[in-house]
Amino acid sequence: MARAATTADTFNAVAEPRRREILDALAQGERPVNELVTLLGLAQPHVSRHLRVLREVGAVVVRDEGRQRLYRLNPQALKPIHDWVASYQHLWEERFDLLEDVLEDLKEEH
């Protein structure tokens, strides 16, 4: 078995830096493919394929507008990732918690 498909889930889709760039660009608002091509400095077919991956995991949605295709971000798709990392957040912030505890103890001693 090879590595899981990039379209397997948002985690895989977003592991690719270019795709994160695309999402970052779309965070500003809806954009046609051509604009993303210019922004990323990638060949158009590549951008189209990255967009396809993002579409398949639901991270973006398309809308036809004449001969253009406008892509829009679907932020909800990122929520699972957020939920997962968020459960670790207290761990890397623990030091501050510990510091607070120490300060609390010091206060009580006086």
Partner DNA sequence: CCAATGCATATCCATATGGGTATACAATCG
Partner DNA sequence: CGATTGTATACCCATATGGATATGCATTGG
Site for DNA, rule CB under 7 A: 1-7, 16, 18, 32-34, 37, 42-53, 62, 64, 66-70
Q: How far is CA 51 from CA 25, 38, 86, 89, 100, in A?
A: 12, 14, 27, 30, 46
Tell me which of its own copies, DNA, none is bound by residue 44, counting a contact when its beta carbon lies within the kind-specific cut-off of 5 to 8 angstroms: DNA
Nearer to DNA, 23 or 97 (CB): 23
* Amino acid present at 108: E
Say how far apart CA 62 and CA 70 lie, in whole Å: 6
Say how far apart CA 18 and CA 15 lie, in whole Å: 9
Nearer to DNA, 16 or 78 (CB): 16
Selection from 49, 66, 69 nearest residue 6 by Cα: 49
Tell me which of DNA, its own copies, none is bound by residue 73, counting a contact when its beta carbon lies within the kind-specific cut-off of 5 to 8 angstroms: its own copies
Tell me which of its own copies, DNA, none is bound by residue 58, counting a contact when its beta carbon lies within the kind-specific cut-off of 5 to 8 angstroms: none
Tell me which of DNA, its own copies, none is bound by residue 30, counting a contact when its beta carbon lies within the kind-specific cut-off of 5 to 8 angstroms: none
Beta strand 60-65 with 31-32 is unpaired
CB of 24 to its own copies, least distance (A): 8
Nearer to its own copies, 12 or 48 (CB): 12
